[in-house]
Amino acid sequence: MPRGYVAVYCGSRVGASPAFRAAAAELGAALARENWGLVYGGGKIGLMGVIADAVLANGGTAWGIMPQFLVDKEQAHRGLSRLDIVTTMHERKAQMIAAADHFVALPGGVGTLEEVYEALSWRHLDLIKGTVSLLNVDGFYDGAAELFARILADGFLPAAEKDILHVVRETEELLALWQRHSSE
């Protein structure tokens, strides 16, 4: 049984940089090694498939949550520890948030942004307690980090909430963050 679950939001494509694929594989292996379960969108394609395969290859737990319309497009990973099929994207997101102890975005598209920003919004509202992080591979999230700093500077978030979003460059930083958070 995993010590908890980490929701990972990421692309259904691998992206242009080989570093994106490498980061997904590294994070997946680390989740398994540290006994964190993966909860994610359930896909077999893109970075979603890379991270799930890495978790499973290293003996970890990979739980996918996917709406039926994506299953029908043959995008579901059929080798997962658990695959929940839901009706809507809203159900998927709600179940992932309910299941997760921490939230991380790897590089991805607009769906990835929407999902991680929803988790960040819930963290701001104190509806969830876990950490929300961007794994800033090859500077992918530099613009998001700048926007978050601007949101703080312009008073749209109180200064006390400057630590509700963590922008990290390495998987090891995530592991250390989760360790600190669990000991608080």
Count of CB atoms within 10 A of residue 81's CB? 15
Model pLDDT, residue 88: 97
Number of neighbours of residue 119 by Cβ within 10 angstroms: 26
132-160 pLDDT tens trace: 999 999 999 999 999 999 999 999 999 99
Confidence of residue 104 (pLDDT cuts 50, 70, 90): very high
Average pLDDT for residues 97-102, to the nearest whole number?
A: 98
With a CB cutoff of 8 Å and minimum separation 6, the contacts of 173 are 166
- What is the pLDDT, as a whole number, of residue 13? 97
Q: What is the pTM of this model?
A: 0.97
Our measurement of the distance from residue 175's CA atom to the centroid of its chain's CA atoms, rounded to an integer in Å, reads 13
The average pLDDT across 53-58 equals 98
From the CB of residue 113, how many other CB atoms can be counted at a distance below 10 Å? 15
Average pLDDT over residues 40-65: 98
Return the structure tokens found at 127. 């509806």
Q: Give residue-wise pLDDT tens across range 127-137.
A: 999 999 999 99
Q: What pLDDT is attached to residue 81?
A: 98
**Token pair listed for 42:** 């359930």
What is the per-residue pLDDT for 182? Answer: 82
